[in-house]
Amino acid sequence: MKKTIFFTVMALAMTTTGLFAQNATLPRLAVVEFSTNSNTEKINQDAFTVRELVESEMVKTRKYEIITRDDIDKLLKNQQIKASSITSSENLKKLQLQNISYIVTGSLSAMGSDYAITVRVLDVSTGQYSHSENDFMGSGSREMYTGIGDLMKKFNAGMTTQGGMVTQTARTYKIGEIGPAGGIIFYDKGVFSGGWRYLEAAPAETEFIGAWGTNNYYVFTQTNVGLGKRNTDNIIQRIEQIDEWGSMAAQLCASLNFNSFSDWFLPSKDELDLMYKNLKQKSLGGFVNSMYWSSTQYNKDNNHAWSQDFNDGFQGWNGKNFHTNVRAARAF
């Protein structure tokens, strides 16, 4: 029976000094292991083969200095970094200490007797994805070789490298359209800057109910569009400092992995308002008539944070230990 191979390719931009010798004229790139959604000999062999073919296609572009597989595997092992969690704040900081420009990785996910394929790029300096492609292909040797070659041509043609950053050149989105992670676009900045252009709300099936946190601790957060990710990181860092773990809104957003995308965050006050105005008021996104948490603390009040009523759009404060709806967002 014909099988198809699904893989996800991500590239992460990085800066600063590192462990490897470098060519100053080319950005440095490594292809790391591809994750799978099962642990069979067949899919593991396919993942290894896909990794080699993807690396070969990246070499052909002549746009990158390729780090050897042995070197990058040794680095990730020494730093205790897994490909599945490579976008976490802790791992991004570790990787930024290395002089690597991009990391390419991916996943093979079985769908019955098939696999399905997505390619994406993450800018490590911002922690945001900036480019994606997807396709299907047969699992025969020749089909795999040809299919991956064709997919990587689209992948490389659809992005450009400027000033050490990877940006998307091909695909544009409109508000209300399905985004690369399977969510729905609720904001378009108009230009790619700071590692992102669009904001994407997570699908309705990922929504959950949780508390913002417990009372009596201060977290520095801001209200503006584009700061939800930073707010989320600050909240999680503070929670770790006071050893407070549980079903906290920021933690649950940051740990969400949907369609192999794991760069979700709790939206800021202004980002949450855009979700309401551009999605809920247009009957998009599957939101309910309830309160939703933002990642913005209420002024300098240690006990309250901003939330928004998605019944009428009113923004106000609630006690941090109040349990209400949470919808994650991502920027790309």
Give the pLDDT mean for 246-263. 86
Give the CA dihedral 60, 61, 66, 72, nearest 10 degrees.
-90
Q: Find out whether 57 and 152 touch, Cβ atoms under 8 Å.
A: yes
Residues 91, 153, single domain; the answer is: yes
User: How confident is the model over 251-279, as a mean pLDDT?
Assistant: 93
Contacts of residue 105, defined as CB under 8 A and 6 or more positions apart, other chains included, come to: 8, 9, 10, 31, 32, 33, 34, 35, 83, 86
For residue 32, which phi and psi values (nearest 5 degrees)? -105, 175
Residues 131 and 23 in one domain: yes
What's the domain range around 250?
Answer: 204-331
Q: Which residue has the higher pLDDT, 171 or 230?
A: 230
Q: Are residues 208 and 101 in the same domain?
A: no
Looking at the chain, list the stretches that DSSP marks H as alpha helix, in order from N- to C-terminal side: 41-60, 69-78, 89-96, 141-157, 228-241, 249-254, 269-278
**Taking a C-beta distance cutoff of 8 angstroms, is the pair 15, 125 a contact?**
yes
Co-location of 217 and 316 in the same domain: yes
Give CA separation, 297 vs 175, 244, 263, 316, 317, in Å. 27, 17, 21, 11, 9
- Does residue 24 fall inside a structural domain? yes
Residue 13 lies in a domain: yes
How far CA 107 is from CA of 31, 34, 128, 229, 300, in Å, comes to 12, 5, 18, 24, 43
Q: Write down the pLDDT at residue 24.
A: 53
pLDDT of 225 above 80: yes
- Is residue 62 domain-shared with residue 160, that is, in the same domain? yes
Tokens 């099988």: give the residue: 3
Nearest Cα neighbor of 22 from 66, 52, 61, 74 is 66
Strands 159-162 and 165-168, bridge-based pairing: antiparallel
Tens of pLDDT, residue by residue over 7-41, are 444 544 443 344 444 555 787 888 888 877 778 89
> Which has more confidence, 4 or 84?
84
Domain boundary among 123, 148, 168: 168
User: Is residue 178 a contact partner of residue 118, using CB atoms and an 8 Å limit?
Assistant: no
User: Which of 108, 143, 168 is the last residue in one of the domains?
Assistant: 168
Of 306, 302, 154, 90, nearest in space to 214 by CA: 302
pLDDT band at 140 (very low <50, low <70, confident <90, very high): confident
Find the Cα–Cα–Cα–Cα dihedral 234, 240, 242, 248, rounded to 10°.
Answer: 80
Domain count, the chain: 2
Under a CB-based contact definition with an 8 Å cutoff, are residues 176 and 278 in contact? yes
Rounded percentage of the chain residues whose pLDDT exceeds 90: 39
pLDDT value of residue 188 = 97
pLDDT at site 277: 98
CATH of the domain at 63: 3.40.50.10070
Domain's final residue, options 144, 168, 192: 168
Comparing 321 with 117, which gets the higher pLDDT? 321
- Kindly state whether residues 291 and 211 are assigned to the same domain: yes
Range of 6-10, 33-37, 137-141, 248-252 with top mean pLDDT: 248-252
Residue 106 lies in a domain: yes
Q: Is the pLDDT of residue 180 over 70?
A: yes
Task: Report the pLDDT value the prediction gives residue 209, as an integer from 0 to 100.
Answer: 95
Same domain, 76 and 29: yes
The string of pLDDT tens digits covering residues 44-101 is 888 898 889 888 988 888 888 888 999 999 999 999 998 777 888 888 888 888 888 7
**Are residues 157 and 216 both part of a single domain?**
no
* Residue-averaged pLDDT of the chain: 83
150 and 86 in a single domain? The answer is yes
Backbone φ/ψ region at 125: left (φ over 0), alpha (ψ -120 to 50), beta? alpha
**Domain match, 218 and 97 both:** no
How far is C-alpha 198 from the chain's CA centre? 12
**pLDDT band per the 50, 70, 90 thresholds, residue 282:** very high
Is residue 191 in a domain? no
- Closest C-alpha to 103, from 171, 42, 178, 20: 20
168 exposed, middle or buried (CB, 10 Å; 0-12, 13-18, 19+)?
buried
Q: How many residues does the chain have?
A: 332
Q: Beta strands 102-111 and 159-162: pairing type?
A: unpaired
What pLDDT is recorded for position 172?
83
Domain presence at residue 180 = no
Confidence at 308, pLDDT banded by 50, 70, 90? very high
Residue 188 lies in a domain: no
Asked if 95 and 240 sit in the same domain, the reply is no
User: In the chain, count of helices (H) and strands (E)?
Assistant: 7, 16
Residues 253, 162: one domain? no
Residues 6+ apart with CB under 8 A from 117: 4, 5, 6, 7, 8, 134, 135, 136, 137, 151
In a domain, 173, yes or no: no
In a domain, 192, yes or no: no
Q: Which residues of 221-259 are buried (b: 16+ CB within 10 A; e: fewer)?
A: bbbebbbbbbbbbbbbebbeeeeeeeebbbbbbbebebb
